[in-house]
Amino acid sequence: MGFLLTLALRGLPGRFTAPVLAVLLSATVSVVLEALQTWLPSRVPSNVDLACNALGSLLGAIWARVVGPRVFVRFAAWQKRLIAPIPHAELGLTLLGLWLLIPLSPEILLFGAGDLRQILGLGGAVPFAADSFVLIEASITAFNALAVGLIVRLLCARKAVAYLAVPLFILFGLIVRTVAAAILVNPNEAFAWLTPGAEIGLLLAGVGLAVAIALPAIPRLLLAALALLAGAMLVNLAPPNPYSSAALAAWRQGHFLNFNGLTRWIATLWPFLTLPFLLLTTRRQ
């Protein structure tokens, strides 16, 4: 906040007016937040927090004085070199960042997004059976990984960049899933997500992406939208996962309760937020 305010106020007269005002405004926000916590029984206002926040804004203001707006010029050049000039590219990057929150919920299937049953109070449409569950899990993983990979490809300026960025992004999602399971559930459950269904789904997604990345833009957009819808449909048809129920029961959520609620909402809404973005990218810049 100190960094951004210093740049925003740099047109004011005086050499140090902008950084001083930035630090004062940031510290004032911190004072208000700490004061409001006196009315929250579960929170404790702290002068240490106030001092640390003020110090952070001071460091940000100093950084803004040193680098100035050059950081945004460099970022714009980097963006022009790597990100495709499509409408609402920033929205696409934001959606990809939100997608990385989905693997943080250890109780959902790998990359499973769009499950509306908890909101609507519905159960699984298909009874649980091991063989059919493996097939459904593989399909959910494959469709969602394919959709996400094609969205990454959509945002890449060049095909060569996409062939590197797509597998790295999906690998990063798997790392997030592994670390989340190890920290939130149990270190022994870190790779519990690597089921036969997930393995088959990742393999199918890898083969599909290797071909789909080379397709023209419109077929890629249509394929991404269809994969997104198919993945969401299958998530709502899938029977309850016994491992997910056991993992949720063993997870002592504590102060992660609200965080888990946030990740669930993102996992539920992500496909329905992403589909309009895919439609918007068909418009000319």
pLDDT tens-place string over residues 41-58:
878 888 899 999 999 999
Q: Is the pLDDT of residue 284 over 60?
A: no
Q: Is the pLDDT of residue 277 over 70?
A: yes
pLDDT tens-place string over residues 158-214:
888 889 999 999 999 999 999 988 887 778 878 888 888 899 999 999 999 999 998
Count how many Cα atoms sit within 13 Å of the Cα of residue 118 in the half-sphere of its side chain.
13
Its pTM stands at: 0.74
How far apart (Å, rounded) are the C-alpha atoms in residues 173 and 104?
Answer: 9
pLDDT value of position 256: 55
What is the greatest pairwise CA distance in the chain? Answer: 72
pLDDT value of position 90: 87
Domain ranges of the chain: 2-68, 85-280
Cβ count near 70 (within 10 Å): 9
Alpha helices in the chain (DSSP H): 2-8, 17-36, 47-67, 70-82, 89-99, 117-120, 130-155, 159-184, 196-212, 217-237, 242-250, 257-280
pLDDT value of position 264: 81
